[in-house]
A and B are shown apart, each in its own frame.
Chain A
C-alpha cells in the first residue's frame, strides 16, 4: 500500500471540497444564512462551463484558451444568479429566523433545479476537453490527470485570495466587523446592505466556480446541485459554520478520511464522512473553529 498515493488522493479530493464549500461558509459567516441554493450555484456553474466549452471547441479555437472562458463564464453566471436571488428574494426575508432562511433557500434550490431543466434539458452534458488536454503525470507508481493536480493549486490560490481579502483590505475589515456584530457595525456607519450584496454575490460566484472547475471531469446531469450540498454541509459543519479556516480543515479531514477508507476499508467509504462529522460535533458542537457565543437578548 502506497501511503503517498492515499495522501495525494486525499489532497485532490480535499481541494475540490474546499472550493465547493468555501462560498457556503462565507455566506453563513457574514449573513447567518445557510444557503441551500449553493448547490444550484454549483450546478449553474457546471452547466455554464459545459456550454462554453462546447461552443469553444466546436469553433476549433486553441484549447488552452478555453480555461479562461469557461472559468470566467461560470464565475459570471454565479455572480448574476447571486445578485438576482439576493435582490429578488433574500432582501425581503432579512431578519427572519435562521431556520426560515434555510427553508427559503431550499425553495430557491428546488426552483432553480427546474429552471436548469428548462434551460439545459434533462440529458447530460460533457466538457471533457479541458480535462484531458493537460495530460497526466506518473506519480508514486500510478498516473494522475494534471487537471486534478492543478486543482490543488487553484484551491490554494482561492484560500490565499480569500485570506488576503478578509484580512488585508478595507472591505475585508468591514466584513469581519459585520460578522462579529451587525448592530454595532450599523451604528458605526457601515453599509451592511452593501456588505450583504457583495458577500452573497461572491459566495455564489465561488459555488459556481466550483461547478465550473468540476464540469470537465464529470457528466453534468440534473440533480447534481442537490447531491453536492450534502457533502459541502458536512465539511462546513466540521470546520464550524462561517469559518474559512474551518472549511479548509474540514475539507482536509473529510478528504483524507475518505481517501484512507477507499483504499483500506472501501466498505465504510460512505460512512466515514458522516462518521468524522459526528465525532467532531460530539466533541465540539459548534465545529472545530467556532467558539460558543453568549446569546444576545
Chain B
C-alpha cells in the first residue's frame, strides 16, 4: 500500500505539471491511482482481512495415513485456535498478524509434474499469500524453483533432502522441518553410545532415493564413529512391496547387533508385523528412524527395545513446554490419538510463518512479503518442539537437535526409555557445507556436549 500511495502521489504531480488539472484529468488521475492501488494491494497480498494459506500434504495415497492426515489434523486445529486467539503466547494474537487464516487445501498425491501444476494453480488462480507443504523430497526439489519464479513465500514443512539449500540458494523458500541428515547422524551416534562394543550392522531400506540416501548417510556416519563396523547384509526391497519373507530370512541368517531401517508407513508396519512374528527382533535391535509415526498405531506390535526416531525433537521427544502442552492436550482431545512427528512439523511451519509475519508487522504496519522474508531469515521462534533456529541455508533452513530412545509400553501407553538428546550442532553440518561432505570428512566441528 505504501508503494501504491507513493506512486499515486508521483503520478498526480506528473500529470498536474504536464497537463494542468481540469475535471477530466483529475478524474483520470484518481481512476489510475485506484487501479494502481488495487494492483499493488493484491500483488503484496497482505492488506486484506484474511491471510490465504495454501497447505499441501498427502490427503490420499500410501503417505496419507502416516503423514498427511496427522499433518492436516494439526493444521486444522492450529488454524482454528489461532483464528480464535486461543493459542498460548507468543502466538496469542488472532490469525497471522491479525488477519484470520483461510486455508486452501491441496492433495500432494501424484507426480512432481502434478505438484508444479497444483502449485501454479494455488498461486495464480487461488491467489494464496503463502504456501506451506510437501512431504516428498522430490516434490520439494521440483517446487523450489517454481516458487522462485512465481515469487511466493513457500515453507517446506517435512521433506528431508538436504539438497534443497545445499545445492541452491532460494529467496522465497524456507524450510522449518529438519533435514534427513540428522536422522542418520543421530541414529549412528545413538547406537554407538548404547552399545560400546558395537561390531556389526544390517539394514533394510526402500529402494528409492529416501531409502538409499538414509542408508548411505547412516553407514557413512557410523563408519566415522566405528571404522571397523561390519556390515552383515543390506536389503533394498521395492517401495510398497509389503512382503518381506526372504529379506527377514536373510537378516536372520546373518545376525547383526542392530538393523537399520528408514521404512515408513505401510511398509514399516508390514515389516514389523512379519519380523516380530518370526522373532527377528529378539536377538537384533531394530532402528526405525521414522518409527514414531507408526508407534501409536502398532502399540503392542512394536518390538520392545526398538530404537525409534521422530525425525527431530517431536512427538514424545518434544520438551515439556507451554506450547507442547497446549498442542498435545487439544490434539488428543479432538482426535483421540497422540500427535506424531508430521503433526508437530506442520504446527512448526505455521508458527514459523506467523512469527516472521508478526516480526515484520512490528517493524512496519503495512508490511509486504519482502518484509516477512527478511524477518524469516535467521529467525528464532518458539514451537512445541522447543526453539527453532533458521540458521542453515543462509537463514532459510531450520536447525534443531534430535533425540533417540528405545520403545517400551508403560501403564498401557507407548513411551521411550534410554532417551538421549543430541544438540543441533552435533548432528548438523556447519552452514555452507554439504551434509554428505561433512559426514565423509568425519563430521568435523560437531559439538555434542
Partner-B contacts on A (CB < 8 A):
1-2, 5-6, 8-10, 12-13, 16, 117, 122-124, 126, 128, 131-132, 136, 141-145, 147-148, 214, 217-224, 227, 258-259, 262-263, 266-267, 269-270
Given contacts A222-B60, A223-B62, contact A145 B250 (CB under 8 A): no
Could you list 7 further interchain pairs (A-B, Cβ under 8 angstroms) beyond the known A219-B242, A222-B61? A123-B64, A145-B274, A223-B62, A224-B242, A263-B246, A269-B236, A270-B237
Query: What is the bound-complex CA distance between A9 and B207, given in angstroms?
Result: 20
By a CB distance below 8 angstroms, the chain B residues around A217 are 243, 270, 273-274, 277
User: Is B430 on the interface with A (CB-CB < 8 A)?
Assistant: no
Partner-A contacts on B (CB < 8 A):
59-62, 64-66, 68-69, 207, 233-238, 240-243, 245-247, 249-250, 252-253, 265-270, 273-274, 276-279, 297-298, 301
By a CB distance below 8 angstroms, the chain B residues around A147 are 277
Contact B266 A122 (CB under 8 A): no
Query: What is the bound-complex CA distance between A65 and B268, given in angstroms?
Result: 28
Contact A218 B242 (CB under 8 A): yes
By a CB distance below 8 angstroms, the chain B residues around A132 are 276-277
By a CB distance below 8 angstroms, the chain B residues around A124 are 65-66, 265-266, 269, 297
By a CB distance below 8 angstroms, the chain B residues around A222 are 60-62, 64-65
Please tell me which one of the listed residues A122, A142, A219, A223 contacts residue B249 in the complex, with CB atoms under 8 A apart: A142
Query: What is the bound-complex CA distance between A223 and B253, given in angstroms?
Result: 32
Query: What is the bound-complex CA distance between A132 and B278, given in angstroms?
Result: 9
Query: What is the bound-complex CA distance between A39 and B449, given in angstroms?
Result: 53
By a CB distance below 8 angstroms, the chain A residues around B237 are 262, 269-270
CB distance from A229 to the nearest CB of B (A): 12
Contact B240 A224 (CB under 8 A): yes
The residue in chain A whose Cβ has the minimal distance to the Cβ of B234 is: A266
By a CB distance below 8 angstroms, the chain B residues around A221 are 62, 65, 265-266
Contact A5 B249 (CB under 8 A): yes
The residue in chain A whose Cβ has the minimal distance to the Cβ of B241 is: A227
Please tell me which one of the listed residues A6, A8, A126, A227 contacts residue B269 in the complex, with CB atoms under 8 A apart: A126
By a CB distance below 8 angstroms, the chain A residues around B62 are 221-223
How many residue pairs, one in A and one in B, have C-beta atoms under 8 Å apart?
134
Contact A131 B277 (CB under 8 A): yes
By a CB distance below 8 angstroms, the chain B residues around A270 are 207, 236-238
- A-B contacts, 9 listed (Cβ < 8 Å): A5-B253, A124-B266, A132-B277, A217-B243, A218-B243, A262-B249, A269-B235, A269-B238, A270-B207
By a CB distance below 8 angstroms, the chain B residues around A266 are 233-236, 247, 250
Contact A12 B245 (CB under 8 A): yes
Query: What is the bound-complex CA distance between A144 and B244, given in angstroms?
Result: 12
Query: What is the bound-complex CA distance between A214 and B265, given in angstroms?
Result: 17
Given contacts A9-B246, A262-B247, A263-B249, contact A224 B266 (CB under 8 A): yes
Given contacts A124-B266, A262-B250, A266-B236, contact A218 B273 (CB under 8 A): yes
The residue in chain B whose Cβ has the minimal distance to the Cβ of A266 is: B235
By a CB distance below 8 angstroms, the chain A residues around B233 are 266
Please tell me which one of the listed residues A126, A141, A267 contacts residue B273 in the complex, with CB atoms under 8 A apart: A126
Query: What is the bound-complex CA distance between A263 and B232, given in angstroms?
Result: 12
Query: What is the bound-complex CA distance between A5 and B268, given in angstroms?
Result: 24
Given contacts A224-B266, A262-B250, contact A122 B68 (CB under 8 A): yes
Please tell me which one of the listed residues B60, B250, B301 contacts residue A128 in the complex, with CB atoms under 8 A apart: B301
Query: What is the bound-complex CA distance between A136 and B282, given in angstroms?
Result: 14
Contact B236 A13 (CB under 8 A): no
Contact B269 A9 (CB under 8 A): no
By a CB distance below 8 angstroms, the chain A residues around B301 are 126, 128
The residue in chain A whose Cβ has the minimal distance to the Cβ of B59 is: A122
The residue in chain A whose Cβ has the minimal distance to the Cβ of B270 is: A218
CB distance from B308 to the nearest CB of A (A): 17
The residue in chain A whose Cβ has the minimal distance to the Cβ of B267 is: A219
The residue in chain A whose Cβ has the minimal distance to the Cβ of B203 is: A266
The residue in chain B whose Cβ has the minimal distance to the Cβ of A151 is: B245
Query: What is the bound-complex CA distance between A281 and B380, given in angstroms?
Result: 60
The residue in chain B whose Cβ has the minimal distance to the Cβ of A223 is: B62
By a CB distance below 8 angstroms, the chain B residues around A227 are 240-242
CB distance from A34 to the nearest CB of B (A): 22
Please tell me which one of the listed residues B235, B277, B297 contacts residue A145 in the complex, with CB atoms under 8 A apart: B277
By a CB distance below 8 angstroms, the chain A residues around B249 are 5-6, 8-9, 142, 144, 262-263
By a CB distance below 8 angstroms, the chain A residues around B61 are 122, 222-223
Contact B246 A117 (CB under 8 A): no
Contact B278 A143 (CB under 8 A): yes
Query: What is the bound-complex CA distance between A117 and B58, given in angstroms?
Result: 13
Contact B236 A219 (CB under 8 A): no
Of the listed residues B69, B249, B297, the one surrounded by the most CB atoms of chain A closer than 10 A to its CB is: B249
CB distance from A187 to the nearest CB of B (A): 46
By a CB distance below 8 angstroms, the chain A residues around B279 are 136, 143
The residue in chain A whose Cβ has the minimal distance to the Cβ of B269 is: A219
CB distance from B55 to the nearest CB of A (A): 16
By a CB distance below 8 angstroms, the chain A residues around B252 are 142-143
CB distance from B110 to the nearest CB of A (A): 12
Closest CB pairs A-B (n = 10): A219-B269, A221-B266, A262-B246, A122-B64, A219-B266, A123-B65, A9-B246, A218-B270, A142-B252, A227-B240
Please tell me which one of the listed residues A128, A148, A223, A267 contacts residue B245 in the complex, with CB atoms under 8 A apart: A148
CB distance from A291 to the nearest CB of B (A): 32
By a CB distance below 8 angstroms, the chain A residues around B297 are 123-124, 126
Query: What is the bound-complex CA distance between A124 and B293, given in angstroms?
Result: 12
Given contacts A224-B240, A270-B238, contact A219 B265 (CB under 8 A): yes
By a CB distance below 8 angstroms, the chain B residues around A117 are 60
CB distance from A8 to the nearest CB of B (A): 8
Please tell me which one of the listed residues A6, A9, A123, A214 contacts residue B242 in the complex, with CB atoms under 8 A apart: A214
Contact B277 A258 (CB under 8 A): no
Query: What is the bound-complex CA distance between A144 and B279, given in angstroms?
Result: 9
Given contacts A123-B69, A143-B279, contact A9 B253 (CB under 8 A): no
By a CB distance below 8 angstroms, the chain B residues around A141 are 253
By a CB distance below 8 angstroms, the chain B residues around A122 are 59-61, 64-65, 68-69
CB distance from B238 to the nearest CB of A (A): 5
By a CB distance below 8 angstroms, the chain A residues around B268 are 219
Query: What is the bound-complex CA distance between A117 and B109, given in angstroms?
Result: 13
Contact B266 A218 (CB under 8 A): yes
Query: What is the bound-complex CA distance between A255 and B276, given in angstroms?
Result: 23
CB distance from A214 to the nearest CB of B (A): 7
CB distance from A93 to the nearest CB of B (A): 28
Query: What is the bound-complex CA distance between A113 and B62, given in angstroms?
Result: 12
Please tell me which one of the listed residues B64, B246, B273 contacts residue A131 in the complex, with CB atoms under 8 A apart: B273
